[in-house]
Amino acid sequence: MPDSEALRQAALRASWQRDHQVGRRRRWWRWTVWAFWRYGLPLLLVAATVTAFVTIALARTLEH
């Protein structure tokens, strides 16, 4: 049977590991959201605009 100090140390170590895992996950999530707003959304808007213009241009050429 481990003594109380060993149990306390193991619990602290496990808690520290969980804290770091959660911190890493939160940082990854923040960077992902930031990158989407900074680069993903503008690229998505440009792609949608180009697609709309191409679709309109093709529709006009097919009408004549």
Q: pTM of the entire structure?
A: 0.64
pLDDT of residue 1: 74
Interatomic CA distance for residues 57 and 17, integer angstroms: 57
pLDDT of residue 17: 96
pLDDT digits over 7-59, tens only?
999 999 999 999 999 999 999 999 999 999 999 999 999 999 999 999 999 99
pLDDT of residue 57: 95
Position 64 pLDDT exceeds 80:
no
Rounded alpha-carbon distances, angstroms, from residue 30 to 12, 19, 39, 45:
27, 16, 14, 21
Sequence-distant (≥ 6) Cβ neighbours of residue 2 within 8 angstroms: 10
Q: What is the Rg, in whole angstroms, of the alpha carbon atoms belonging to the chain?
A: 26
